[in-house]
């Protein structure tokens, strides 16, 4: 699963970049470039080539690390969430460095993080699809015990 994520997160990000109209900050006229600043969903004016800058590619080169969270699953949710935060840090740091250079906006990095998390979630769902599920329908024993304690 981790190997799949290491390949798919940067690959999907790269493919999405190729279809994106969004420009990098340094390409926009308001920041010293020559390109117009169209809205995200707006079409480009005639004769203007797409910017291919969204999502952030550098960030995605480390955001696949989010897949390491599976090493803490199924376990205590807080531990898995802490691991998720630690695994997001390298990708967000790479995105921040690109933002400081003028290569991306914060939204580009956040989109990359969302895409990485979605890919990892999809991989988990696909690869665990054939495995046995808990009889409780996925509710942890600790959670069930908490419900029983509150009901008394």
Q: What is the predicted pLDDT for the residue at 36?
A: 87
Q: What is the pLDDT of residues 79-114, one digit of tens each?
A: 989 999 999 999 999 999 999 999 999 999 999 999
C-alpha span between 107 and 111 (Å, rounded)? 6
Q: CA–CA distance from 82 to each of 63, 68, 72, 140, 142 (Å)?
A: 15, 12, 10, 19, 19
Q: What is the pLDDT of residues 12-61, one digit of tens each?
A: 999 999 999 899 999 999 999 999 888 767 788 888 899 999 999 999 99
Whether omega before 86 lies within 30 degrees of 0, making that bond cis, reads no
Domain boundaries, the chain: 2-151
| pLDDT band at residue 75 under the 50/70/90 scheme | confident
Q: What is the predicted pLDDT for the residue at 115?
A: 97
Asked whether the whole model's pTM tops 0.85, one would answer no
């Amino acid at each position: 699963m981790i190997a799949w994520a290491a390949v798919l997160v940067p690959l999907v990000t790269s493919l999405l970049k190729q279809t994106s109209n969004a420009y990098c900050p340094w390409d926009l006229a308001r920041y010293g470039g020559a390109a117009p600043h169209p809205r995200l969903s707006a079409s480009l004016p005639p004769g203007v080539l797409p910017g291919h800058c969204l999502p952030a590619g550098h960030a995605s080169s480390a955001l696949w690390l989010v897949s390491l969270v599976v090493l803490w699953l199924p376990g205590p949710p807080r531990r898995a969430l802490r691991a998720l935060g630690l695994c997001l840090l390298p990708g967000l740091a790479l995105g921040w460095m690109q933002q400081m250079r003028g290569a991306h906006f914060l939204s580009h990095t956040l989109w990359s993080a969302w895409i990485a998390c979605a890919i990892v979630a999809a991989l988990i769902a696909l690869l665990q699809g054939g495995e046995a599920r808990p009889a409780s329908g996925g509710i942890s024993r600790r959670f069930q015990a908490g419900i029983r304690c509150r009901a008394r």
